[in-house]
Amino acid sequence: MGSPIASIVSVGISKFGVREGLYTRELFAEAAREAFDRCPNLNPKRDVQGLFVGMMSESYEHQAHVAPLFLDWIGLLPIPAFRTEGACASSSVALRVALFSIASGMYDVVLVGGVEKMTHLSTTGVTEILAMASDFPFEQWHGISFPGIFGMMAVDHMHRYGTTEEQLAKVAVKNHEHGVLNPKAHFQKRIRVEDVLSSTPVAWPLKLYDCCPRSDGAACLVITSPKVARKFTDTPVDIVGSGQAQDTLGLFERDNFSGMKVTRLAAQQAYKMANVKPEDIDVAEVHDCFTIAEIMAYEDLGFCGPGEGGKLIDEGVTQLGGKIPVNTSGGLKAKGHPVGATGAAQACEIYLQLTNQADRRQVSGAEVGLTENVGGSASTGVVHIYRRGD
């Protein structure tokens, strides 16, 4: 396996869901506090040298220039702070930029995080802000939003491969099952295939229960150079692979709607860097903003061949107890999707799994993990690979 780029020594996650009366700064502080408390050997004021935070939009709170604001609220002024934006992949991009800073030797210890506060706005208001991650004159202006975009992807996948609405529904059922086991998850209830199929149509074939909720939440990771990780914990998780790719902003410019090119390319980079293959992955968190996105992720990550994602969910391969448990946290579908926080939260779940701290959703013997996070209609794609520290 490849050499570690950096190590995760602690993580923290706020409760995801409807967090009334709180600002993003308070959610971020909640996650950072948990990360600091989990690592008693860390003195944040002395040890942390920089902050990298992902947040999609200042429109939710009419608040830009958030990096120094968050630093202030966690007591780490005046160290450098950087905000990254990659739509729903914003904090995965933050993690990747943080890796650059560690690998360059510029810093030895940094804090990486992501946050978004969405639920105080109406569905219409949130939809309008999220749509800003699509092409304005050719998609937004014509009224198409992301449920419609991913609905078209689902139709193409069904046409090409025979994927069924029942298979999409099984993704939602699985992730709700996992979400029940995660006390930080937005949704804490089980659902049935019939519940998904009978839920309100949103953008055929996607129904209400095929779609992730709008959520509030934050997640943070303390990242160090591998050489100093043991100063802070006996159980670091090494990041051994990282990849990122971009595609056209508009779905209409692509040759193929039934897959995510950015996931394939980013995964190839990450697998090569980590010197692993898809079959080496023990647990994964993937971007299930809509149920079709998880099925496409199975294929684009190489967990199965093109068009075989539906078969994977039918056979229970990706549920807890299966060969490759996917979205043990509940995924975006049940854990929630505060968009800027999602990539960091995925990494937090893998850290908990690889350090045997995932409680009722623990994957036995997990040693190698993967996260896949996309932005917009998969115009940005980021994949990271992790292994339990030696």
- Mind telling me the catalytic residues? 88, 337
Handedness of CA 187, 189, 190, 193 (dihedral sign): negative
Ramachandran region, residue 2 (left: φ > 0; alpha: ψ -120 to 50; beta: rest): beta
Written as six digits, the tokens of 90 are 């914003």
Any bridge partners for residue 387, and if so which?
Answer: 238, 368
**Pairwise CA distance, residues 24 & 120, whole Å:** 12
Nearest to 375 by CA among 256, 246, 251: 246
Note whether 347 and 221 are within 8 A (CB). yes
Written as six digits, the tokens of 67 are 């990096």
Which residue type does 233 have? Answer: T
Nearest to 52 by CA among 181, 213, 187, 220: 220
Phi, psi for residue 133 in degrees, rounded to 5? -85, 0
